Amino acid sequence: MGNAYSISYTCYIQLLSLCDYYLEINNQNLNEVYPRIYVGNLSTSLNKELLKQTGITHIIIALTGLSPSYPEDFKYLSLSAIDDKSFNLSQHFENSNNFIEQALQNKDNKVYVHCVCGVSRSVSIVCAYLIKKYGITPVEAIAKIQTQRKCANPNEGFIAQLGEYLENNKFEKNKLPNFYPE
C-alpha cells in the first residue's frame, strides 16, 4: 500500500509543479479579481512575504487536508473541498460569503482565496460571493473574474451548483460595477 501512496504523492507533486509553472509563465499566481479579493494557487499561499506585500489579511483555503500555514499572521477559513464535479462545494457558499463580507467591512482588509491551482474551487467560491452580492449568473461571474485571471475555469459540477445557488436564493439583481476595464 505504501508504494501506491508514493506513486500517488509523486504524481501530485509533479502536477503541482506543472500547475505552478503554467501559472507563473502566464502571470497567474495571484490576481485581484474583485476589489480586495484575490485568487491564486497553493504555492502562493505559502509565500508569506508576497501575501504581506499584497496586504492580504484573510485567507480562504478551498482544499482538503491543508492546515493554515501562518495562523499568527492571517485570519483563515478552511473549507474541505476537492475538485470533482460531483463534490458538493455549495455547502460552503454561505460560510465563505460571510467570511468575505465580514473581512471586507474593514477597508484595509484583503482576502486571498486559493485551492491547488486557483482555477476551479477558489474561483467558484468567489463566483458565489459575486452571485450573492449582485444577483448575476455564474457565466457573468466567471467572465468578470476571467478579465483578471485568464485561467479561471470552474468545473461543470461547480458551475451547475452556482446556477442552483442563484436560482434557489433569488438574490436581488444589482448592476455589477466595472471595477476592472475589460
> Which of these, 152, 150, 140, lies nearest to 176 by C-alpha position?
140
List, in order, residues 6 or more apart from 133 with CB less than 8 Å away.
171, 174
| 115 flagged as catalytic | yes
Burial of 114 (0-12, 13-18, 19+ CB in 10 A): buried
Calculate the CA 150 to chain-centre distance: 14
The catalytically annotated residue of 19, 115, 117, 151 is 115
The residues annotated with a catalytic role in the active site are: 115
